[in-house]
Protein backbone atom coordinates (compact mmCIF):
# COMPACT_ATOMS: atom_id res chain seq x y z
CA UNK A 1 0.00 0.00 0.00
CA UNK A 2 1.59 3.24 -1.15
CA UNK A 3 1.42 6.62 0.52
CA UNK A 4 -1.23 8.87 -0.98
CA UNK A 5 0.40 12.27 -1.57
CA UNK A 6 -1.88 15.23 -2.27
CA UNK A 7 -0.17 17.68 -4.63
CA UNK A 8 -3.07 19.74 -5.90
CA UNK A 9 -3.35 23.12 -4.18
CA UNK A 10 -7.15 23.36 -4.37
CA UNK A 11 -7.48 19.85 -2.99
CA UNK A 12 -5.13 20.71 -0.11
CA UNK A 13 -7.12 23.87 0.69
CA UNK A 14 -10.34 21.81 0.75
CA UNK A 15 -8.73 19.14 2.85
CA UNK A 16 -7.57 21.74 5.39
CA UNK A 17 -11.09 23.19 5.57
CA UNK A 18 -12.50 19.73 6.14
CA UNK A 19 -9.99 18.96 8.92
CA UNK A 20 -10.64 22.31 10.60
CA UNK A 21 -14.35 21.54 10.87
CA UNK A 22 -14.03 17.94 12.07
CA UNK A 23 -13.05 17.92 15.77
CA UNK A 24 -14.56 14.56 16.60
CA UNK A 25 -12.07 12.16 15.16
CA UNK A 26 -10.95 9.21 17.23
CA UNK A 27 -7.25 8.71 17.76
CA UNK A 28 -5.82 5.26 17.27
CA UNK A 29 -5.95 3.53 20.63
CA UNK A 30 -2.81 2.79 22.66
CA UNK A 31 -0.37 4.77 20.57
CA UNK A 32 1.60 5.96 23.60
CA UNK A 33 5.26 6.19 22.84
CA UNK A 34 8.45 7.12 24.64
CA UNK A 35 10.35 9.80 22.90
CA UNK A 36 14.08 9.21 22.55
CA UNK A 37 14.53 12.96 22.17
CA UNK A 38 13.74 13.63 25.80
CA UNK A 39 17.01 12.27 27.15
CA UNK A 40 20.02 14.46 27.96
CA UNK A 41 21.57 16.22 25.01
CA UNK A 42 25.23 16.22 23.93
CA UNK A 43 27.08 17.63 20.96
CA UNK A 44 27.89 15.59 17.87
CA UNK A 45 29.54 16.20 14.53
CA UNK A 46 27.47 17.81 11.82
CA UNK A 47 28.78 17.91 8.26
CA UNK A 48 27.36 20.77 6.19
CA UNK A 49 25.76 19.53 2.93
CA UNK A 50 26.69 22.83 1.23
CA UNK A 51 30.37 23.23 2.12
CA UNK A 52 31.36 20.00 3.95
CA UNK A 53 32.59 21.90 7.00
CA UNK A 54 32.31 19.88 10.22
CA UNK A 55 30.64 21.67 13.15
CA UNK A 56 29.56 20.44 16.58
CA UNK A 57 25.84 20.70 17.20
CA UNK A 58 23.15 19.44 19.56
CA UNK A 59 22.61 15.73 19.07
CA UNK A 60 18.86 16.24 19.39
CA UNK A 61 18.99 18.84 16.66
CA UNK A 62 21.09 16.77 14.28
CA UNK A 63 18.95 13.67 14.83
CA UNK A 64 15.79 15.66 14.21
CA UNK A 65 17.35 17.01 11.05
CA UNK A 66 18.02 13.48 9.81
CA UNK A 67 14.38 12.56 10.29
CA UNK A 68 13.25 15.73 8.56
CA UNK A 69 15.55 15.05 5.60
CA UNK A 70 14.07 11.57 5.22
CA UNK A 71 10.60 13.08 5.04
CA UNK A 72 11.75 15.57 2.47
CA UNK A 73 13.42 12.97 0.31
CA UNK A 74 10.02 11.27 0.16
CA UNK A 75 8.30 14.56 -0.67
CA UNK A 76 10.86 15.33 -3.36
CA UNK A 77 10.25 11.94 -4.95
CA UNK A 78 6.51 12.56 -4.78
CA UNK A 79 6.96 15.73 -6.83
CA UNK A 80 6.57 18.60 -4.35
CA UNK A 81 8.19 21.93 -5.13
CA UNK A 82 10.25 23.04 -2.12
CA UNK A 83 13.68 23.96 -0.85
CA UNK A 84 14.92 22.98 2.60
CA UNK A 85 18.12 24.43 3.96
CA UNK A 86 19.91 24.59 7.23
CA UNK A 87 22.81 27.10 7.17
CA UNK A 88 22.44 27.84 10.88
CA UNK A 89 23.90 24.42 11.68
CA UNK A 90 27.18 25.19 9.92
CA UNK A 91 29.78 27.41 11.61
CA UNK A 92 31.02 28.53 8.18
CA UNK A 93 27.71 29.08 6.32
CA UNK A 94 26.02 30.74 9.28
CA UNK A 95 27.82 34.05 8.90
CA UNK A 96 26.02 35.79 11.78
CA UNK A 97 26.02 32.69 13.97
CA UNK A 98 23.82 34.41 16.51
CA UNK A 99 20.88 32.02 16.77
CA UNK A 100 21.27 29.35 19.46
CA UNK A 101 18.03 27.75 18.25
CA UNK A 102 19.44 26.82 14.84
CA UNK A 103 16.36 27.00 12.66
CA UNK A 104 15.85 25.25 9.32
CA UNK A 105 14.33 27.21 6.49
CA UNK A 106 11.63 25.67 4.33
CA UNK A 107 10.45 27.28 1.09
CA UNK A 108 7.46 25.52 -0.41
CA UNK A 109 4.71 26.17 -2.96
CA UNK A 110 1.85 24.18 -4.44
CA UNK A 111 1.43 26.16 -7.63
CA UNK A 112 4.33 27.17 -9.92
CA UNK A 113 2.65 30.58 -10.36
CA UNK A 114 2.92 31.33 -6.62
CA UNK A 115 5.87 32.75 -4.72
CA UNK A 116 7.46 30.31 -2.31
CA UNK A 117 6.01 30.31 1.17
CA UNK A 118 8.93 30.69 3.58
CA UNK A 119 8.94 29.29 7.11
CA UNK A 120 11.70 28.90 9.69
CA UNK A 121 11.44 26.37 12.47
CA UNK A 122 13.53 23.91 14.43
CA UNK A 123 10.59 21.84 15.61
CA UNK A 124 10.56 18.45 13.97
CA UNK A 125 6.92 18.02 14.95
CA UNK A 126 6.07 20.87 12.61
CA UNK A 127 7.41 18.66 9.84
CA UNK A 128 5.63 15.56 11.13
CA UNK A 129 2.41 17.59 11.06
CA UNK A 130 3.09 18.85 7.53
CA UNK A 131 3.94 15.39 6.24
CA UNK A 132 0.78 13.85 7.70
CA UNK A 133 -1.32 16.62 6.19
CA UNK A 134 0.19 16.18 2.72
CA UNK A 135 -0.38 12.44 2.87
CA UNK A 136 -4.06 12.72 3.77
CA UNK A 137 -3.84 11.64 7.41
CA UNK A 138 -6.10 12.87 10.21
CA UNK A 139 -3.47 12.59 12.94
CA UNK A 140 0.30 12.73 13.30
CA UNK A 141 3.07 11.63 15.62
CA UNK A 142 3.39 14.64 17.93
CA UNK A 143 5.50 15.61 20.91
CA UNK A 144 3.52 13.61 23.46
CA UNK A 145 1.68 11.04 21.48
CA UNK A 146 -0.45 10.79 18.39
CA UNK A 147 -2.16 14.12 17.95
CA UNK A 148 -5.07 15.20 15.79
CA UNK A 149 -4.36 17.48 12.85
CA UNK A 150 -7.58 19.22 13.89
CA UNK A 151 -5.68 20.62 16.90
CA UNK A 152 -2.89 21.95 14.69
CA UNK A 153 -4.61 23.70 11.78
CA UNK A 154 -2.47 26.76 12.57
CA UNK A 155 0.72 24.70 12.28
CA UNK A 156 -0.37 23.32 8.91
CA UNK A 157 -1.05 26.84 7.71
CA UNK A 158 2.29 28.08 9.07
CA UNK A 159 4.12 25.28 7.25
CA UNK A 160 2.27 25.49 3.91
CA UNK A 161 1.03 29.08 3.62
CA UNK A 162 -2.38 27.58 2.81
CA UNK A 163 -5.67 28.08 4.64
CA UNK A 164 -5.27 31.65 5.88
CA UNK A 165 -9.07 32.08 6.00
CA UNK A 166 -9.56 28.55 7.28
CA UNK A 167 -7.39 29.28 10.33
CA UNK A 168 -9.50 32.34 11.21
CA UNK A 169 -12.69 30.27 11.07
CA UNK A 170 -11.06 27.41 12.97
CA UNK A 171 -9.95 29.71 15.80
CA UNK A 172 -13.55 30.92 16.23
CA UNK A 173 -14.95 27.42 16.58
CA UNK A 174 -12.00 25.52 18.02
CA UNK A 175 -13.09 22.85 20.47
CA UNK A 176 -10.61 21.41 22.95
CA UNK A 177 -11.80 17.92 23.67
CA UNK A 178 -11.22 16.94 27.28
CA UNK A 179 -8.31 14.60 27.73
CA UNK A 180 -7.17 14.92 24.16
CA UNK A 181 -4.31 17.37 24.62
Q: Which residues bind Zn ion (CB under 5 A)?
A: 48, 50-51, 53, 90, 92-93
**Residues β-bridged to residue 55:** 46
Look at residues 39, 56, 67 and name the one whose alpha carbon lies nearest to residue 123.
Answer: 67
Measured between alpha carbons, how far is residue 39 from residues 35, 103, 112, 122 in Å? Answer: 8, 21, 42, 18
Q: What's the closest the beta carbon of residue 91 comes to Zn ion, in angstroms?
A: 8
Task: Give the separation between CA 115 and CA 139, rounded to whole angstroms.
Answer: 28
DSSP 100: T
Q: Cβ of residue 97: shortest distance to Zn ion, in angstroms?
A: 11
Pick between residue 74 and residue 93 the one whose CB is nearest to Zn ion: 93
Nearest by Cα to 119 from 89, 83, 151:
83
Report the nearest approach of Zn ion to the CB of residue 46 (Å). 9
Query: Least distance in Å: CB of 124 to Zn ion?
Result: 21
Measured from the CB atom, the residue of 43 and 50 that comes closer to Zn ion is 50
Cβ nearer to Zn ion, comparing 90 with 149: 90
**Residue 52: which region, alpha, beta or left (left: phi > 0; alpha: psi -120 to 50)?**
left
27 vs 93, beta carbon nearer Zn ion: 93
Amino acid sequence: MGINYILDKAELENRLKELASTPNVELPYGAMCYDIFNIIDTEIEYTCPECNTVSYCSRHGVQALRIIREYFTALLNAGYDFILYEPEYCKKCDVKNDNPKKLYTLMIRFDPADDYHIVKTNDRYDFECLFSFLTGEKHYHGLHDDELLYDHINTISKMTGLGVDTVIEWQKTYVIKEGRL
